[in-house]
Amino acid sequence: MSIIFDDKVKTITLQTKNTTYQMKIDRQGVLLHTYYGEKTDDTDKSYMICYRDRGFSGNPYEVGRIDRTYSLDILPQEYSCFGTGDYRISALKVKNADGSRTSCLLYESCEIREGKYSLPGLPAAYGTKEEAQTLTVTLRDCETGLKVCLYFGVFEEQDIITRAVKIINEGEGAVMLQKAASLSMDWQTGDYEWLTFYGRHTMERNLERSRIMHGVQSVGSVRGTSSHQHNPFIMVCDGSTTEEQGDCYGFSFVYSGEFLMEVEKDQMDQTRLVCGIHPENFEWKLESGESFVTPEIMMAYGKGFGSVSRIFHQMIREHICRGEWKHKRRPVLINNWEGTYFHFTGDKLEAIAREAADLGVELFVMDDGWFGKRDDDASGLGDWYPNEEKLGCTLKELGERIMALGMQFGIWFEPEGISEDSDLYRAHPDWAVAVPGRKPGLSRNQLVLDFSREDVQDYMIRRLKEILHNAPISYIKWDFNRSICDKYSRALPQERQGEMAHRFVLGLYRVLEELTKTFPHILLEGCSGGGGRFDAGMLYYTPQIWCSDNTDAIERLQIQYGTSFGYPVSAMGAHVSAVPNHQTGRVTPLSTRGCVAMAGTFGYELDVNRMTAAEREEVRSQIEMFKKHYDLIQYGEYYRLSSPVEGSATVWEMVSSDGGEALVSAVYHHVRSNPVPVYVKLGGLREDSMYRLELTGVPEERTLPINSKEHFFRQGHLVSGAALMHCGLMVPEALNGFQAWQIYLRAQSCSTVQASMSLS
C-alpha cells in the first residue's frame, strides 16, 4: 500500500520503492510537510518541527494570544498562500471578490483511490490501478469559499510522485488567480544547492550548479514556451552530491509554456521550492462554480544525480510517452535542411533519398520550403498548400516516389507561425498575435498565430488533416521558430487577457491531441528552433524532440549532456551533419559525428550525394551498428561517466537493465600532446560476471600508434564487472583531434570464460 492515512495522528504518508513523503494535519487544520527523502516508516515526523517565538513572525488570530510560537512564517507547509503571515514565496495568490489578496487554506478531507488521476486538456503521467495510486487532499478557505484540491500520483515502482492542483471557486463572486503553482516544497534542514539548465538558441541546457543563498533565486520563461534560455527541469542536492552519491531531488514540470521555478532560503535556514506557471503574465478569472487545473510536476528522490536521472528516463519512456511509437523502433532518417535549405526541387529531394536508401536510411524528411510562396523565411508561412510548381509534382506523388525507394516519407510543419506575406494573413490578420494599435514584434520575419483561439485551432486541425489524409506521410517535424511577445488575443475580453499565454498552450495541446488520435501511425518530432520547447509536456505528444539546431558534434556533447539529466536518449533528436559544420565551422571525423548522434534518435542532415565513396561506406556501417544495438542505446540505463566541460574526453555508457551488455562511448574534445590517460568507472554491470570488451565501428586495417590501448581491445580480453566498476577502464588515446571510441561489452557465459582461459 503506497498511501497510508493515519487518522489518529493525522499523518498522510506516501511510500514508493525507495522513498517516503509525509504530510501532517496539525491542530489548526494547516497541512504541514514533514518529510521527503530516503525510505523510512510512517512514524509521525512532525517532532522535527521547532516551535519558538520568532520576532516579526506573526501568529494566526485563534492562537496568537495563547501561543506565540505558532507561526505560518516558519512552518513547513504543503501549499503556501499569500497574505496570511507567511512572508516567504507562495504557491497561491488570489484576488478575492472584495479586492483582498489573502487566502487561508485549511484541511477538509482526503481521498485515496487506485490508478492515476488525469488532467483535462493537459499532459500528465498515466498509470493503471496496478501501477499507481492517487491521493486527493482538499483544502478550503472558509471565508471566501475557495476550495483547493491537491493531487498526488504515487508510482511506487518508479519512485515517482506527481503533483497537480485544482482550484474551485465555491464563493458567490468572481475571483482572479494571480499565481497558481503546481508544487510548494519545504525542507526544514539542509544546506542545499540546485542544478539548473540555462542556454540560448543553438546552445541549450547548459548545467549550472549554484548554492541556494538566503533570499529568492529563480529560473523561468516568459517567452510563451518553456524556452531555450531555461528548462523546466531542476535538481536540488547536498553540496557533496555527485553522480552516484548524495541526496538529490529532481523536479520536472510537465508543461510547454511559461514557467517559474523559484527557491528561497529563509531566516531559519529552511529552504522552499515553488514551481508552476509563471505569474508575471498570468491572471485567470474564476466565476462562481468555475475551476482551474494547474499543469503537473513530477518529482523524484535518489542518491546521486545519475540515479535520479535514470528514474526520470524510465518514467518518461513508460508513463509520459504514448502511442505506437512509445516502444516501436524509430526509423533512421535523413533531413534535407542543411543539405539544401530552401533551394530544392522534387527531383533533387528524390536524388538525396535514393542515395540515402542505398545506405540503409529508412525515412526521408522534407523540411521547410515545400509550401506556398516559400523560398526564404520572409513569406508563405501559414499557407499550408504544396507548391507543386517548385516540387514538380503533387505532394502525394513525391511521397509515392520516396516510398518506391523503400523509404518512409516525412514532412516539416510550423503551424503556430504566420508570415505577413501570406494568403492566410491577408485573409485573417486578426488571427496573428498583436496588441491593437501597436506594431507587433517580429522574429525570423514572422508573427505568431493565436492558438488561444478555438477558431484558429479548428482551422489548423482541418488544414493539417487534409494534407495528411492526401499524402503518404509517416513522420512530422513540428517546429516553432520564435518566442511570443505582444501577448493579446482579440478573442478574449479585457479582463481575461492574462489567460492568453496559458490558453495558447492549451490550444497547442488540443491540436496535437487531435492529430495523434486521428493519425496514430505518424511519428511526431517536436522542435522549436531546436530545443526551445524541450519538456515533458511535449513528450506526451511527440516522443522525441529535436535537441538543438546546433549539429556540431563537439557542441552537442555539452547540449546532450545537460539534456540527459532530465530526459532519456530516446527523446533526443540527433543527426550527423556535414563538415565544416554550418553553425561553428568545425571539422570533425565522420566517426565522431556518428558516435555523438547515436546518443539520440540518430539520423543524418546533409546531402549524401556530396560524400565520398569511403564516407558512404562508413555511413552504411554506422546505420548497421545503430540498428544492431538499438534497444541498448534507446532503452538502456544511461550513465554519465565524465563531463564535457572538464578533462579531455566526454564518456557515457548505456547498459541493459539486466547488466548483460553495455556500450561505452568516448569523444575527445580537448587533445593534448603527451596526454594524461582518461579513466572512467562503469556502472550497472554484474559484479560477478566477466565481460569481453571490443572496439566497434573502427576499421581493422588502421595503423595503430605504439603502446595504444587499442591493442587491449583487439585482443578480446575479459574483465570482471567488479573490476570495471570499482577499478575502472582506461579509454584508448586519441589518434587525432576529436577522436571518438565506442566499446561494446557483453557478459560471457561460464563455458566461454573457461574456454578463453584454456586458450590463454
Which of 176, 181, 183 is CA-nearest to residue 290? 176
Cα 12 from Cα 6, distance rounded (Å) = 6
Contact 539, 321 (CB under 8 A): yes
Start-end of H helices in 284-435: 305-319, 337-340, 346-359, 388-391, 395-403, 423-427
Cα 77 from Cα 33, distance rounded (Å) = 5
Q: Across 213-319, where does the E strand assignment appear?
A: 215-221, 233-238, 247-254, 259-265, 271-277, 284-286, 291-293, 296-303
Write 66-74 long-range contacts (CB < 8 A, 24+): 70/28, 72/30, 74/50, 74/266, 74/267, 74/268, 74/270
Kindly list the distances between the CA atom of residue 38 and the CA atoms of 14, 46, 247, 431, in Å, as whole numbers in the listed order: 12, 16, 8, 51
Which of 412, 331, 408, 336 is CA-nearest to residue 609? 336
Cα 264 from Cα 268, distance rounded (Å) = 11
Contact 730, 683 (CB under 8 A): no
In the chain, the amino acid numbered 193 is E
CB-based contacts of 702, cutoff 8 Å, min separation 6: none
Classify residue 653 by its DSSP letter: E
Cα 250 from Cα 160, distance rounded (Å) = 10
Strands 291-293 and 160-169: antiparallel
Is 98 annotated as catalytic?
Answer: no
Instruction: Pick the catalytic residue from 423, 615, 694, 710.
Output: 615
Q: What is the largest CA-CA distance in the chain?
A: 88
Cα 447 from Cα 318, distance rounded (Å) = 36
Start-end of H helices in 450-499: 454-469
Instruction: Pick the catalytic residue from 535, 549, 552, 637.
Output: 535
Give the CB-side neighbour count of residue 713, counting CA atoms within 13 A.
23
Cell representation of residue 183: 508544487
Is 535 annotated as catalytic?
Answer: yes
Cell representation of residue 77: 507547509
Write out the catalytic residue numbers. Answer: 535, 615
